[in-house]
């Protein structure tokens, strides 16, 4: 993907581009979180998307085996992920030729911030017939207007194209999106990284209670994919959020690309009314 061209287009339209990437690598397993990762809740904390993608990327790198891909990933959010230096570690829990399980941890000197587990699955083209993968699409997402979003750094680093709903309107939403910058400086972004950079926003663009009055805290994210998307093309997220009166929410997202099903995500949320100043 030509990120320099994407950055130039963003700057031409007035978007703020906060650095060359979400992270810079500063050691074998160490990364520096750049301002582009800053989320909506605090100028000292990252949006959940970039660090989720970073820990998934570490699992991809450490567990790579010919003919296999990550097909299932769970992420537990232990606490807000700060800016600054972060380290990631990966270990094998269950090696195997057909399926293998890995565990990863992202954190700093104050302890872990994210925990992840990922299954790698062997993929052999033609092993079985494909079933129920078509997701109808009758237009090019690039023909939709790009949402002018820049009220916190992370959100301006993604090109959001809404087919249904907006970030400010309550209710289900369908959005087509792709990152404007890579995950790690100097490295091409992968399909898994691109997907995870963006999918943690699903509870935001499908919010049912306005985020200026209600706090959404993601507790966990569970991703299952049958195929990884092309990071240079728009990825489609069809999301709906449901919230109980007890303050527990679930966001369900179907992911596709150019008319083909990619996978599904479930977010578990803690929801409460914000305290008024």
Mean of pLDDT values over 99-107: 93
On whether the CB atoms of residues 55 and 217 are closer than 8 A, the answer is no
Strands (E), the chain: 23-25, 30-33, 68-77, 84-94, 99-108, 111-122, 158-164, 173-179, 214-225, 235-243, 248-257, 260-273
- Mean pLDDT across the stretch 107-130? 88
Mean pLDDT of 170-181: 93
Higher pLDDT, 130 or 104: 104
Q: Which distant-in-sequence residues (6+ apart) come within 8 Å of 33 by Cβ?
A: 22, 23, 46, 50, 51, 81, 82, 83, 84, 85, 86
Q: What does the pLDDT read at residue 13? A: 44
pLDDT in tens, 248-269: 999 999 999 998 999 999 999 9
- Segment 17-21 shows an average pLDDT of 72
pLDDT over 70 at 70, yes or no = yes
Give the model's pLDDT for residue 262: 95
pLDDT bracket for residue 206 (50, 70, 90)? very high
**Helices then strands, each counted (H, E), the chain:** 5, 12
Cα atoms found within 13 Å of the Cα of residue 24, Cβ hemisphere only: 11
Q: What is the Rg, in whole angstroms, of the alpha carbon atoms belonging to the chain?
A: 18
What confidence category does residue 121 fall into, taking pLDDT thresholds of 50, 70 and 90?
confident
Nearest to 239, CA basis, from 200, 191, 197: 200
Asked whether the CA dihedral 277, 155, 192, 92 is positive or negative, the reply is negative
The arithmetic mean of pLDDT across residues 136-158, rounded, is 86
Q: Which residue has the tokens 């209600």?
A: 214
Least confident of 8-22, 151-165, 225-239: 8-22
Would you state the structure tokens that stand for residue 252, as one six-digit string?
């369900």
How confident is residue 19, by pLDDT bands cut at 50, 70 and 90? low
Please state the pTM of the whole predicted model.
0.89
The CATH superfamily label for domain 3-123+141-273 reads Acyl-CoA thioesterase, double hotdog domain (2.40.160.210)
Q: What's residue 263's pLDDT?
A: 95
Mean pLDDT of 121-136: 78
Which of the residue ranges 31-45, 127-141, 143-157, 194-208 would you say has the lowest mean pLDDT? 127-141
């Amino acid at each position: 993907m030509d990120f320099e061209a994407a950055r130039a287009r963003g700057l031409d339209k007035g978007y703020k581009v906060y650095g060359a990437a979400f992270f810079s690598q500063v050691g074998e397993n160490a990364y520096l979180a750049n301002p582009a990762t800053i989320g909506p809740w605090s100028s000292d904390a990252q949006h959940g998307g970039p660090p989720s993608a970073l820990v998934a990327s570490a699992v991809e790198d450490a567990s790579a085996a010919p003919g296999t891909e990550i097909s299932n990933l769970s992420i537990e959010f232990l606490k807000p992920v700060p800016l600054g230096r972060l380290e990631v570690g990966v270990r094998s829990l269950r090696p195997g030729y057909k399926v293998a399980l890995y565990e990863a941890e992202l954190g700093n000197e104050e302890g872990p911030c994210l925990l992840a587990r990922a299954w790698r699955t062997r993929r052999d083209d033609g092993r079985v017939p494909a079933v129920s993968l078509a997701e109808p699409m009758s237009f090019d997402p690039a023909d939709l207007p790009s949402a002018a979003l820049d009220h916190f750094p992370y959100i301006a680093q993604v090109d959001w194209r809404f087919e249904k709903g907006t970030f400010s309107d309550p209710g289900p939403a369908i959005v087509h999106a792709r990152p404007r910058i890579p995950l790690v400086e100097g490295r091409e972004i992968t399909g898994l990284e691109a997907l995870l950079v963006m999918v943690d926003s699903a509870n935001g663009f499908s919010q049912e209670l306005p985020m200026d009055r209600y706090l959404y805290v993601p507790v966990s994210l569970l991703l299952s994919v049958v195929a990884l998307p092309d990071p240079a093309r728009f990825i489609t997220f069809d999301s709906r959020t449901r919230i109980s009166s007890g303050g527990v929410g679930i966001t369900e997202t179907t992911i596709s690309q150019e008319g083909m099903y990619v996978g599904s995500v479930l977010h578990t949320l803690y929801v409460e009314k914000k305290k008024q100043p």
